[in-house]
Chain A
Amino acid sequence: EDQVTQSPEALRLQEGESSSLNCSYTVSGLRGLFWYRQDPGKGPEFLFTLYSAGEEKEKERLKATLTKKESFLHITAPKPEDSATYLCAVQAAGNQFYFGTGTSLTVIP
């Protein structure tokens, strides 16, 4: 069964305390893995697309990596404004999209 699992469900970090969010997936033929940021009451904001194992993408304090079974979103020296829910989604060979339930990140000043 195709599915996407994100962990942890919630994460609290001190400002400057680096950490990683995990997205593990089982899909038939990965066409792409996507990371989004969602603030409360708003639509998800696109961050990254990863297509193949070994690929990495960076944007400011965020770095996304991909293996054959999972992706990590590394957050380096986070700031309070990085607090949000981070969603992972995968697109399978038949173009179906599967979303994880997200990791709620809180960065404490």
Chain B
Amino acid sequence: DGGITQSPKYLFRKEGQNVTLSCEQNLNHDAMYWYRQDPGQGLRLIYYSQIVNDFQKGDIAEGYSVSREKKESFPLTVTSAQKNPTAFYLCASSIRLAGEQYFGPGTRLTVT
């Protein structure tokens, strides 16, 4: 079955620690995205990548970093510089930069 996987489903960290969220897709999509979802707000774009070894900042990139070394993988690191990291993080992919995006199941990160 083709799809997008995110792991882990739940993640707990102490303040000051960096944490990496995994995102893998086997849809052969070129473009991948990271969003953050907070209650009462629309999805906000953190980073996106159109192709391997290339990525661009989204609307709220501060305190986050990404890499795209393989077409299938787009991990997101939440650094200690992110002031409000507790949120639901969603990874998505699309065939190319334009067109519908398909989402993974999400990772809920709690930082205390």
- Do A and B truly interact? yes
Which residues of A are interface residues toward B (Cβ below 8 A)? 4, 31-32, 34, 36, 41-46, 49, 87, 89, 91, 95, 97-102
CB distance from A37 to the nearest CB of B (A): 11
Interface residues on B, range: 20 to 34
Distance in angstroms between the alpha carbons of A34 and B102 in the assembled complex: 11
Chain A contact surface mostly: strand
Q: Are B104 and A43 in contact (CB under 8 A)?
A: yes
CB distance from B14 to the nearest CB of A (A): 23
Q: List 26 A-B contacts (CB under 8 A).
A: A4-B42, A31-B98, A32-B98, A34-B100, A34-B101, A41-B108, A43-B4, A43-B90, A43-B105, A44-B103, A46-B100, A46-B102, A46-B103, A49-B99, A49-B100, A87-B42, A91-B98, A95-B97, A95-B98, A97-B33, A97-B45, A97-B101, A99-B43, A99-B44, A101-B40, A101-B42
Give every chain A residue within 8 A of B43 (Cβ-Cβ): 44, 87, 89, 99
Q: Are A43 and B103 in contact (CB under 8 A)?
A: yes
Q: Are A46 and B101 in contact (CB under 8 A)?
A: yes
Which residues of B are interface residues toward A (Cβ below 8 A)? 4, 6, 33, 40-45, 88, 90, 92, 97-106, 108
Considering only CB atoms, which chain B residue lies closest to A102 in the complex?
B42
Q: Are A99 and B42 in contact (CB under 8 A)?
A: yes
CB distance from A53 to the nearest CB of B (A): 18
Tell me whether A32 and B99 are in contact in the complex, defined as CB-CB below 8 angstroms, given that A44-B90, A97-B45, A101-B40 are known contacts.
yes
Give every chain B residue within 8 A of A44 (Cβ-Cβ): 43, 90, 103
Considering only CB atoms, which chain A residue lies closest to B91 in the complex?
A43
